[in-house]
Amino acid sequence: MPSVFKAFDLRPPKALLPSFLKNSKQPLPPRRKPITLSQALVMFTPHPNLADDVNHAIIQSEIEGGVFLHDLPPSTILHIQTMHHCYTAVLLGGSDALISGHPEFCPDPVQVAIAGSTWGGSMLKLQYVGRGMHLEFHHPEYDTPIVTSPIQEIRDSQPLPAASAINSLSY
């Protein structure tokens, strides 16, 4: 069973700040709520039959962090900030989600199947949302998958009660 850890707060301790910031009356920005990230019990070991670029990409995804959808309960809300848009995904279970945030493909919540994340090519990390990777999902009105720009940040919100998660969003 995978272990769970929290994302690190990357703000420096006040003792390490430059003197003009230490003495500032301005408070440090509030700590963001960390997202629960998945971590395998054993880190990936490069495989001799895979290209160096493939091994590097897999290791980089473990360093950057992300979350497997199967590790999150249904009705979890993910806020996924990509290079160009901020998506909101309400997980429905499995790979299904209500997603919104793109002005053309999903300005309003639409039910999609999240395939996973890619490194910009054809290799897909299934049902995974990872920083530095491109989210790929299947929209019911399009024949080809939608692939986002690189993911910059992933945040989660408290899960909604299952019934209100679906009823509170219009289609």
The model's confidence at residue 153, banded by pLDDT at 50, 70 and 90, is very high
Residue 24 sits at the vertex; the CA angle it makes with 23 and 27, to the nearest 5 degrees, is 120
Residue indicated by tokens 């998945």: 38
Q: Which two tokens stand for residue 120?
A: 């910009």
Residues in contact with 139: Cβ distance below 8 Å, sequence separation at least 6, in sequence order:
105, 106, 110, 112, 145, 146
pLDDT for residue 21? 47
In tens, the pLDDT along 88-134 reads: 999 999 999 999 999 999 999 999 999 999 988 888 999 999 999 99
Report the predicted TM-score, pTM, of the whole model to 2 decimal places. 0.67
- Run of H or E residues at 21: helix 19-22
> How many domains would you assign to the chain?
1
Report the pLDDT value the prediction gives residue 11, as an integer from 0 to 100: 46
If you ran DSSP here, which 8-state letter would residue 39 be given?
E
Question: What digits encode the pLDDT tens for the residues 32-60?
Answer: 555 555 544 567 778 888 888 888 888 88
Which residue segment(s) compose the domain that 149 sits in? 3-167
Nearest partner of 98 among 142, 65, 137, judged by Cα: 137
Q: How far is 93 from 111, CA to CA, in rounded Å?
A: 12
Phi-psi region of 130 (alpha: psi -120 to 50; beta: other; left: phi over 0): beta
What length is written for the chain? 171
Going by C-alpha positions, the residue among 66, 43, 42 that lies closest to residue 55 is 43
